[in-house]
């Protein structure tokens, strides 16, 4: 009589179970814990990016709602800006700016976003006194700037005053290398090298209170001055450039004598 093959099959089945269990044991022991940690971190980062992308419109919408606030000086965020850098420039704090602008994530601000700088922070270290007098050599009132920020503000000012952008850019580079945090030996202030008495005269002319120690105001004063020279010299760029350096009266009565400055600005205009 033939023997039943079932015992053999049963033995094969037990051996198969043994090898399957052994294989699973070898597999789990072969997994490097570091790989698991890296996998979990990758998943976490992907989830964080997704949540951030969802919060972007809401954060930007919140910043737009701040435009109804009063008592603000508005700072337009440009490439390279950080909330910490902006707070430092305006003698404020990150917490104050975040609270004022409803910013939940202090590491998340966007190019083109308008930030409310409370007036108290804006004028805490002002170079302009209440009577309009501009202080000489007020190093504590100087703001910092970066070149991307300066270029953007210069182009905006040129467009608003109907000036060639390359003229604004070239004169600003010739004067300061687009650096706001500088005072010349003769008292010239900031990026456009505005003299204190020139700032006072321009403020009276436009009934303003612009502070040449502040980047945006400094550029505004420079644009006002160039706009005045543009009309005074009927768009003659050579005379305008010379007058910016020598003064309009000197150019009208003595002619152009600082040709090195004029030629340098013309060359810079070709570059920009």
Active site residues per annotation = 175
Give the whole-angstrom CA distance, residue 193 versus residue 221: 10
Q: At what angle do helices 165-176 and 259-271 cross, to 10 degrees?
A: 120
Short-list 209, 231, 235, CA closest to 220: 209
Q: Which residues contact 30 (CB under 8 A, 6 or more apart)?
A: none
Give the whole-angstrom CA distance, residue 262 versus residue 258: 7
* Residue 22 tokens, joined: 């052994």
| SS3 (DSSP) at 117 | strand
Short-list 251, 226, 234, CA closest to 171: 226
DSSP-derived secondary structure letter, 74: E
> Would you say 134 and 199 are in contact if contact means Cβ atoms under 8 Å apart?
yes
Short-list 108, 114, 135, 137, CA closest to 48: 108
> Would you say 227 and 158 are in contact if contact means Cβ atoms under 8 Å apart?
no
107 backbone dihedrals φ, ψ, rounded to 5°: -95, 10
Burial class (CB in 10 A: 0-12, 13-18, 19+), 16: exposed
């Amino acid at each position: 009589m033939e023997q039943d093959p079932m015992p053999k099959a049963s033995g094969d089945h037990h051996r198969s179970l043994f090898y399957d269990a052994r294989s699973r044991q070898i597999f789990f022991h072969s997994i490097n814990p570091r790989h698991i940690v890296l996998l979990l971190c990758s998943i976490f980062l992907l989830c964080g990016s997704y949540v951030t992308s969802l919060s972007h419109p809401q954060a930007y919408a919140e910043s737009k709602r701040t435009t109804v606030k009063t008592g603000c000086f508005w700072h337009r965020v440009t490439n390279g800006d950080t909330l910490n850098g902006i707070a430092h420039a305006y003698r404020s704090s990150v917490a104050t700016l975040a609270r004022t602008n409803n910013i939940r994530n202090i590491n998340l601000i966007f190019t083109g976003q308008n930030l409310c700088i409370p007036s108290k922070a804006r004028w805490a270290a002002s170079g302009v006194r209440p009577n309009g007098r501009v202080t000489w050599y007020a190093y504590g009132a100087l703001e910092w700037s970066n070149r991307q920020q300066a270029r953007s503000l210069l182009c905006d000012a040129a467009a608003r005053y109907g000036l060639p952008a390359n003229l604004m850019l070239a004169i600003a580079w010739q004067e300061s290398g687009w650096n706001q945090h500088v005072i010349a030996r003769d008292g010239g202030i900031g990026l456009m090298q505005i003299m204190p008495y020139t700032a006072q005269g321009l403020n009276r002319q436009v009934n303003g209170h612009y502070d040449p120690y502040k980047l945006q105001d400094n550029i505004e004063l420079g644009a006002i001055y160039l706009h005045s020279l543009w009309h005074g010299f009927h768009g003659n760029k050579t005379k305008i450039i010379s007058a910016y350096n020598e003064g309009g009266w000197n150019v009208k009565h003595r002619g152009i004598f600082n040709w090195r400055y004029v030629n340098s600005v013309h060359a810079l205009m070709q570059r920009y």
